[in-house]
Structure formats: structure tokens, C-alpha cells
């Protein structure tokens, strides 16, 4: 596994000059020591080696059991949600946001995530903070069933402030070619199964931060009655990871396509897996978004179209499933702890635009 600290191979004779330039090699080494226990938890049997190598190794011989294995890859970051983590000085959940963003982009095509690498850039390496970030990443990898095979921590004094950091990651997965999900499988009559989001997830935080912090002047420690907790606690609610649920639907039901609801909102992301001749119609009355979405709407005087084009509005993942499999899919999701419901259906689009329509209104809005 790569060392997670790019300073580890520096010549000891140059460390004094490096430290004077703002890079603390000893802190980087301590961070690696602290994160080892968490990285070790995020292993799969195919993972070879451990911390300290230049590259992460993954035994691909398991792919020989596939007839035609397709490799899938995804990369992403967390975005400005990291600013909230820094304001709260709480860093052990942001890893769930990072992992959720990348692994659930794979599962929508039916791919199983195999391994992941991460990259942390910071103005100053604080070992405990870096270890907390990696702890969250490793725990999320366990939940998603993938291995954390590599990582890198880079100290960038002068580019980032001492307490600033950003995280990014990439993952690789595999799917059998004839099991690949996507628009080509979607048929008229398919039902749209919506899976509840845990909150804002990791998109739209520029809007949320503008509404809460700039427009309203709230602070992260403000108790918000609608949330039943502080604003900061609400905003740091980790992204839900749907990987195991998505794989269960792909393997056990007649699910034809899935969409991960991230930047752009529900309609825009679902449209990405719709064939041009079909249309999906979703009824807002079928679900009640968490209070945070309504608070953003009212507090910021944000129009519903703007809100729906930015935030997930309570739906983190959707599946397009044959109606004969709908009950089985809902039952399986319930077993996995995912609140889900039928939100709409697919029919022929008379205008041939491949549109996604949201109709009706959420209860209480």
C-alpha cells in the first residue's frame, strides 16, 4: 500500500531545511502510524501487502471467474462540505462522504467496487486529524465492501492554511458484461424505486453554506428545532452508502438501471440512465424530504426548481425495476436498512425527449 505520506523517503540530512520550508516529516510519519489500525480494517482477501509500498497491489486472479469482466472506475471529492468539518473540528465522518461519492457511481451500472485509493492535501499535517479522516474512509470502505489499497497525504504550506485540507479518491470495480445495467435495459412499465437520503449528502453545500452562514448568519453550534440537533451536526450527517443495496438489487431482482443522485439533483441524474424514447414520472407526494431541505428552501427563499436542481431533496439513489420485482426489491432494501418506496413509473415519451418529470408536491410544502 502506498505510504500515505509523500515525505517519508526524504534524505534525513535535508529534513531541517524541509521543516523550515513548512513540511513536517515527523508529523507525517506519526500520521501513518496512527492510521495503520484503520487501514488494516479495510482489507479484502485480494489485497497484497500493506503500508509503505509505492503502489497498492490487488490480486486480479479472481476476475478469471468472469466470462467477460468489465472494469469500472470513478473518481470524486467531497467538495465544500470539508469546510463544515473544519469549522466543527470533526473529521472522522468526511470519509463516508468521499467513499459514497465514488463507490455508488460504480454500483449504478451493477459493478462491485474492489478497491479504492485516496488523496489528502493539507496546509499542515496534524497526525490526529489525518488519522481521523482516514478512519472514516476505512470504515466507509468496510461498509461498501471494498479495500483501501492506497493513499497519499501531501503537506502544502503556503497553498493551504494550516487547518485547511481537501480530500479526493478513486475506485475500481468490476461487472460481468452481460449483467451491465443502463439505459438499454429500461422498459415501459418499469417502476421508479426511490431510496431515502441520509441528508444533504455531499452536494449543494455551496448553496447550503450561503443560506445558513451568509444569508441567515447562523453558526454551526446553533440548535435548530426542526433538526433536533445543531446546524453543524445536521450538515455533517454522513452520506449514505448504497453499494450493498444496489448490488443486491442488480443481482437478485429485475432491476434494469440505477441513478446515484448527486450534483444536479434527482431529475437530472435519473435522466442520465433514461433512453430517449421513454419518460419517467415521479410523484413528489410519495415522500417527505428531511426538514433540512425545507429549511434551506424557506430560509434562503430558494425556488423549488433551483432546490431540485442542486440538492437531492431526500432521494439519494433510484432504481428502475420491472414491476414484477418491485415488492422483492423493496423487501430486500428494508432488510438492508434502506427506507425505499415506489415514487413513479416509466412510460413512452410522446415527445421523444427522454424526460424526467416531477409532479405533485411533498406533504406540507
Angle between helices 94-107 and 127-144 (to 10 degrees): 30
The answer to whether 76 touches 94, Cβ cutoff 8 Å, is no
User: Residue 246 domain-assigned?
Assistant: yes
- In this structure, the answer to whether residues 154 and 221 fall within a common structural domain is no
Q: State whether 78 and 104 are in the same domain.
A: yes
- Count of residues making up the chain: 365
> What's the first-to-final CA gap in the chain, in angstroms?
50
For residues 343 and 356, is the Cβ–Cβ distance under 8 A?
A: no
Instruction: Note whether 159 and 198 are same-domain residues.
Output: no
Q: What is the pLDDT of residue 7?
A: 33
d(CA 217, CA 137): 31
Residues 307 and 334 in one domain: yes
Nine-digit cell at 300? Answer: 434562503
pLDDT of residue 44: 66
Q: Which of 307, 323, 322, 321 is nearest to 358 (CA)?
A: 307
Residue 10: inside a domain: no
SS3 120: strand
Q: What is the pLDDT of residues 42-100, one digit of tens each?
A: 566 666 666 666 777 777 888 999 999 999 999 999 999 999 999 999 999 999 999 99
pLDDT band at 306, cuts 50/70/90? very high
Residues 169 and 261 grouped into a single domain: no
Are both 160 and 251 inside the same structural domain? Answer: no
In a domain, residue 240? The reply is yes
pTM score of the predicted model: 0.88
pLDDT higher than threshold 80 for residue 364: yes
* 33 and 138 fall within a common domain: yes
* 120: in domain: yes
For residues 270 and 344, give the distance between their C-alpha atoms in angstroms, rounded to a whole number: 12
Whether residue 191 sits in one domain with residue 130: no
Residues 202, 335, single domain; the answer is yes
Residue 4 domain-assigned (yes or no): no
> The CATH number of the domain where 314 resides is what?
3.90.650.10
**Residue ending a domain, choose from 153, 179, 205:** 179
Domain stops at, among 148, 179, 210: 179
Q: Cβ(1)–Cβ(149) under 8 Å?
A: yes
Regarding whether 260 and 167 lie in a shared domain, the answer is: no
DSSP 284: G
Q: Is residue 288 part of a domain?
A: yes
* pLDDT tens profile 260-282: 999 999 999 999 999 999 999 99
Instruction: Give percent of the chain above pLDDT 70.
Output: 85
Number of folded domains in the chain? 2
Is the per-residue pLDDT at 31 higher than 60?
no
Residue 252: is its pLDDT beyond 70? yes
pLDDT at 337 > cutoff 80: yes
pLDDT over 50 at 5, yes or no: no
Average pLDDT over residues 351-360: 87
Residue-wise pLDDT tens digits, 293-302: 999 999 999 9
**Residue 34, CA distances (Å) to 24, 127, 128, 206, 290 in order:** 16, 7, 7, 32, 36
Domain final residue, candidates 179, 208, 233: 179
Res 287: pLDDT? 98
Range of the domain at 143: 23-54+66-179
pLDDT tens digits, residue range 154-178? 999 989 999 999 999 999 999 999 9
pLDDT at 202 over 60: yes
Sheet containing 278-283, strands listed edge to edge, beginning at the edge strand earlier in sequence: 255-260, 315-321, 191-196, 340-348, 278-283, 356-359
Looking at the predicted structure, is the pLDDT value of residue 189 above 60? yes
Indicate if the alpha-carbon torsion angle 344, 349, 354, 359 is positive or negative: negative
**Do both 172 and 319 map to the same domain?**
no
Sign of CA dihedral 130, 135, 138, 144: negative
Q: Are residues 233 and 158 in the same domain?
A: no
Amino acid at each position: 500500500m502506498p505510504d500515505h505520506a509523500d515525505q517519508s523517503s526524504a534524505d534525513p540530512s535535508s529534513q531541517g531545511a524541509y521543516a523550515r520550508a513548512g513540511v513536517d516529516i515527523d508529523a507525517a510519519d506519526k500520521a501513518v502510524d496512527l492510521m495503520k489500525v484503520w487501514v488494516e480494517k479495510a482489507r479484502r482477501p485480494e489485497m497484497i501487502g500493506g503500508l509503505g509500498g509505492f503502489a497498492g497491489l490487488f490480486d486480479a486472479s479472481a476476475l478469471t471467474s468472469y466470462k467477460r469482466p468489465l472494469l469500472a472506475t470513478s473518481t470524486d471529492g467531497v467538495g465544500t462540505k470539508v469546510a463544515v468539518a473544519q469549522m466543527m473540528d470533526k473529521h472522522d465522518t468526511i470519509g463516508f462522504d468521499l467513499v459514497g461519492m465514488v463507490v455508488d457511481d460504480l454500483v449504478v451500472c451493477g459493478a462491485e467496487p474492489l478497491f479504492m485509493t485516496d488523496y489528502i492535501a493539507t496546509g499542515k499535517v496534524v497526525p490526529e486529524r489525518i488519522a481521523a479522516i482516514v478512519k472514516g474512509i476505512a470504515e466507509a470502505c468496510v461498509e461498501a465492501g471494498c479495500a483501501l489499497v492506497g493513499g497519499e497525504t501531501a503537506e502544502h504550506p503556503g497553498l493551504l492554511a494550516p487547518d485547511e485540507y481537501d480530500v479526493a479518491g478513486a475506485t475500481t470495480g468490476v461487472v460481468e458484461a452481460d449483467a451491465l445495467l443502463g439505459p438499454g435495459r429500461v422498459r415501459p412499465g418499469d417502476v421508479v424505486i426511490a431510496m431515502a437520503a441520509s441528508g444533504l449528502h455531499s452536494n449543494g453545500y455551496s448553496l447550503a453554506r450561503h443560506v445558513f452562514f451568509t444569508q441567515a448568519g447562523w453558526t454551526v453550534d446553533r440548535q435548530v428545532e426542526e433538526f433536533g440537533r445543531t446546524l453543524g451536526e445536521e450538515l455533517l450527517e454522513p452520506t449514505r452508502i448504497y453499494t450493498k443495496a444496489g448490488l443486491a438489487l442488480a443481482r437478485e431482482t429485475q432491476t434494469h438501471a440505477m441513478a446515484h443522485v448527486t450534483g444536479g439533483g434527482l431529475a437530472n441524474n435519473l435522466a442520465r440512465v433514461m433512453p430517449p424514447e421513454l419518460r419517467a414520472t415521479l410523484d413528489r407526494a410519495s415522500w417527505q424530504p428531511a426538514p433540512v431541505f425545507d429549511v434551506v428552501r424557506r430560509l434562503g427563499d430558494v425556488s423549488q426548481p433551483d432546490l431540485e436542481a442542486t440538492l437531492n431533496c431526500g432521494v439519494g439513489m433510484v432504481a428502475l425495476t420491472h414491476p414484477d420485482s418491485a415488492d422483492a426489491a423493496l423487501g430486500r432494501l428494508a432488510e438492508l436498512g434502506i427506507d425505499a418506496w415506489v415514487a413513479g413509473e416509466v412510460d413512452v415519451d410522446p415527445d421523444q425527449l427522454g424526460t424526467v418529470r416531477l409532479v405533485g408536491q411533498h406533504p406540507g410544502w
